[in-house]
Amino acid sequence: MSPKNTTAKSRLSISDFINDSRVIKDLGNLKKTFDTAQGGRPLVVSDVLDTEGHQYVNLVQKGGGVFGIALVGYTYVLEEMGIRFLRLAGTSAGAINTALITVIKNKQDKKSAEVLQAICDLDFFSLVDGHPAARWLIRKFITKKNFVGKVKNWVLFLLGFFVLLIIGDVALMGLRAKFPALSAWAGACFILSGFWSLLIGMGVSYVFNLLKRLKTSGFGINPGDVFYDWVKKLLLDNNVATVSDLNKKAQTCPPLKLRVHNECGIDDLKGDVTFIASELVTQNKIQFPAMCHLFSTDADTMPPAGFIRASMSIPVFFESYMINDIPYSDNRIITAWNSFFHNTAPPSTARFVDGGILSNFPISIFYNASIPIPRLPSFGIDLDDAGPGDKGENAFNWSLTGYLGRMFNTIRNYYDKDFLLKNEVYQKGVGKVDLSDDKYNWLNFFLSDQDKIDMFAKGAQAACEFLQTFDWDTYKSNRTALQKQLTK
């Protein structure tokens, strides 16, 4: 079957994003704040610089479906302010922007224009490549934030109307003996009840068939093939065909120097990239490409696009990403598994779902206990889509969906939250994008052009607010104090 066309039907351009009045205003005010020629203070966010004066940070990007557009707005502002990224990590949607920032051009170059072009060229709804009924369902219901409530209202309407028809049948059948004129109405109501019963029966049967199909199709509504092909093409367009190509892109840095002396020097500083995925067979968090040798004796036989597809495997929405025919009896594979997961036998097949199940904001991978005084900070982009109702502390007021949502968020966020609680200084490098507006839904792959621009602008605004308040000296001293405390 030929791949579906992913070209966007809209006429969005890069300028629609970066020339939005909100973006221009926020970025203009930010540049004025740090314009030393006009009395502003210098922007200092790191002690690691290149020869062109760019400042380097590590960057982690949170997952969040189509909210990934906001991540691009955030990184656009960072790039415009001369900030570049040494080490990168991301989960799910965060993995997409992480991948593009890694492979496009060189590390010292701006990447946002090319990332925005990829967004402009993409028809988001083409990524919903499942059964036509599933596409209809997603378009009609899941594109709304409160899609569960909308489905519930439809179900209640169908059942309520059916109950009214049954009541009508009983009433009219009893009354037609006294009022013969009602016989025609009774017959019509009876026929309508039969038709409605058949309709509901067909609907229930179809749902059961879809559930059976889920099992045979990796428990996902959409195969995810279009998404995989899109990512693969973007990587190939930037000369990344193998894991070696990906690592080379991530690691290649321009000459670096330190703003101030640091006893650790810069010789050990190098770039890398990490995509988080959740492996279900062995129930482990997997970091690609670092853990490629768990699944193959030759990493270059593994497609880099698969790492992003594995990280983006939203449960039920997308099919699981599979790695088959793992040489699990090979001593090299066995040794690799034992080095990461003690006493865990290698699987013959690995099954991956969204990395956000275990670590949706993997900032902990940048922690380095051997560095007493940090040379550069770890920045993080957090996506906050919790609506006002979701934030209610009164547990008795929660709906069933609110209850289930909180339970799921507790599970998926606790690993990262636990790290931030124990290492609070890292929180100072995290900026939060507010996406709690009721019109936004992270699974809405049928976004309007204006929604995309709005999300980008919100990301840009969040980055501007973050840089206005970030204090590198405070971050560095707090991180140094934490390290001394841990050493004691």
β-strands 48-50, 256-258: how paired?
Answer: antiparallel
**Pick the catalytic residue: 26, 129, 354, 416?**
354
DSSP 383: E
Dig out the tokens for 445 from the structure.
């792959």
Rg over CA atoms, the chain: 26
Give the H/E segment covering residue 482: helix 472-487
What is the C-alpha separation between 16 and 203, in angstroms, rounded? Answer: 43
> What is the SS3 assignment for 284?
strand
Give the H/E segment covering residue 193: helix 183-216
Nearest Cα to 85, choosing from 61, 108, 62, 53? Answer: 108
Is 121 known to be catalytic? no
What sign does the dihedral 134-139-140-144 (CA atoms) show?
Answer: positive
Contacts of 164 (CB under 8 A, 6+ apart): none
Nearest Cα to 93, choosing from 107, 111, 74? Answer: 74
DSSP string, 411-442: HHHHHHHHHHHHSGGGGGGEEEEE---TT--T
What is the C-alpha separation between 439 and 146, in angstroms, rounded? Answer: 9
What is the C-alpha separation between 178 and 28, in angstroms, rounded? Answer: 82
> How many C-beta atoms lie closer than 10 Å to residue 176's C-beta?
16
Helix 93-103, helix 304-311: angle, nearest 10: 150
**Pick the catalytic residue: 46, 92, 126, 378?**
92
Is 92 known to be catalytic? yes
Nearest Cα to 69, choosing from 452, 461, 385? Answer: 452
What is the C-alpha separation between 221 and 269, in angstroms, rounded? Answer: 43
222 touches 214 (CB < 8 A): no
For the annotated catalytic residues, the residue numbers are: 92, 354
